[in-house]
Amino acid sequence: MKKASAAPKKLRVAIIGTGNISRCHIAAFQYMPEVEIVAGCDIKPERLAWFKQQPGCQNASTYEDYSKMLKAEKFDIVDVCTPNGVHAPAAIAALKAGCHVMVEKPMAMNPEECQAMNDAAKKAKKLLACGFQIRYTPVVQMCKRAVNEGLLGDILYVKVHAMRRRGVPNWGVFGRKDLQGGGPMIDIGVHQIESAHYAMGEPKPVAATGRTWTFLGNKPSNVVSVWPNWDYKTYTVEDLCVGQVRFENGTLMQIESAFCSHLEKDTAYWEIMGTKGGFSTLDGTLYHDMAGTMVNSQAGFLPPHPSPADFVSKLRDFTTAILTGSPLTSSGLEGMAVQKIIDGLYRSADKGGKEVAIL
């Protein structure tokens, strides 16, 4: 009788940062039989207690210091879900320990940290992925195919919206520039910037102009909102950031991102305008000419994509690359390109809106 083959070894995963965003990662990992969560690390014991109660985590070990965790155990993957300011040191430590690393968006606080992370990954000969899940959604993939097939022609202009009327997070440290690097542009704008940049073919950014304003978040508010009572006393980021990025191929990208603004409703989408057609992720519409007529084409079907499907997609892309050697879709290089865009907007804002070069 032929001996049954042994079950394939699972990838051992450790999570650094068991706060809010780790919920999405933990839930996504439950759909991935190729991995096993074996450890969690956080500076707050109550978060580790919560972590131990999650599906697939009951037998995991816990630590309050990731350096001690990396010395105590061997992992295949370290998943960094901390505030932005910890991304680089945690990722670099994990890479030096011989682990592949997934880091939540944005990749880091600035391009210099991104470069150090990429250098560490190259030296360790390990994969470094940045968690941009929006690029995997069906509507973005539809646009990507349209661009690749030439249906939009040359991309001329992109308009990105990531706007909240009153949406300052009332948890975590999202209002602290020293720990996050910025406000809505680096937190929610990054998703729309990245997915649009991906869909348009990832041209090289060369210059940016930007302005920021803080007028509500640093003050107490009695306005009814979805997330009331945020910590306005430690709020040091922008409420609103608006800017424009110029790319090497001549394309312009206009970007608007806000935690606080006076507008009709929250928006999170982008529009691309090309020489042959346009596209909006708001409703997945392709705008083009056909049979001598201006036509708006919408997909007859796009797969449903409720959370955590987008997180499963980005994490599975990462694990597949580890297991098979396939190209990594969202690497540290893509993460650094987006970081350069955001950094350029903030540097320009610090100079009163003067254009700055992106190197």
270 and 192 fall within a common domain: yes
Residue 325 included in any domain: no
Residue 318 included in any domain: no
110 and 161 fall within a common domain: no
Calculate what percentage of the chain has a pLDDT beyond 90: 96
Contact 121, 95 (CB under 8 A): yes
- At 80, phi and psi to the nearest 5? -95, 115
150 and 75 fall within a common domain: no
CATH number, domain with residue 108: 3.40.50.720
Dump strand ranges (E) for the chain: 11-16, 35-41, 61-63, 77-80, 100-104, 128-131, 155-163, 205-213, 240-247, 252-258, 267-274, 277-280, 285-290, 293-298, 356-357
Domain boundary among the residues 71, 100, 134 is at 134
1 pLDDT higher than 60: no
Residue 1 included in any domain: no
208 and 353 fall within a common domain: yes
| Distant-in-sequence, close-in-space partners of 336: CB < 8 Å, separation ≥ 6 | 107, 111, 114, 115, 118
Give the count of domains, the chain: 2
Q: What is the mean pLDDT of the chain?
A: 96
pTM: 0.94
pLDDT single digits (tens) 326-347: 999 999 999 999 999 999 999 9
44 and 102 fall within a common domain: yes
pLDDT of residue 308: 86
pLDDT of residue 307: 75
355 pLDDT higher than 90: yes
pLDDT single digits (tens) 226-258: 999 999 999 999 999 999 999 999 999 999 999
Residue 327 included in any domain: no
195 and 129 fall within a common domain: no
As a whole number, mean pLDDT of residues 153-166 equals 98
Q: What pLDDT band is residue 306 in, cutting at 50, 70 and 90?
A: confident
CA-to-CA distance for 94 and 159, rounded, in angstroms? 37
pLDDT of residue 2: 47
- Domain, as residue range, for 164: 139-305+333-357
Residue 55, preceding peptide bond in cis (omega within 30° of 0): no
26 and 121 fall within a common domain: yes
Calculate what percentage of the chain has a pLDDT beyond 70: 98
pLDDT single digits (tens) 79-97: 999 999 999 999 999 999 9
Domain boundary among the residues 104, 134, 164 is at 134
Residue 31 included in any domain: yes
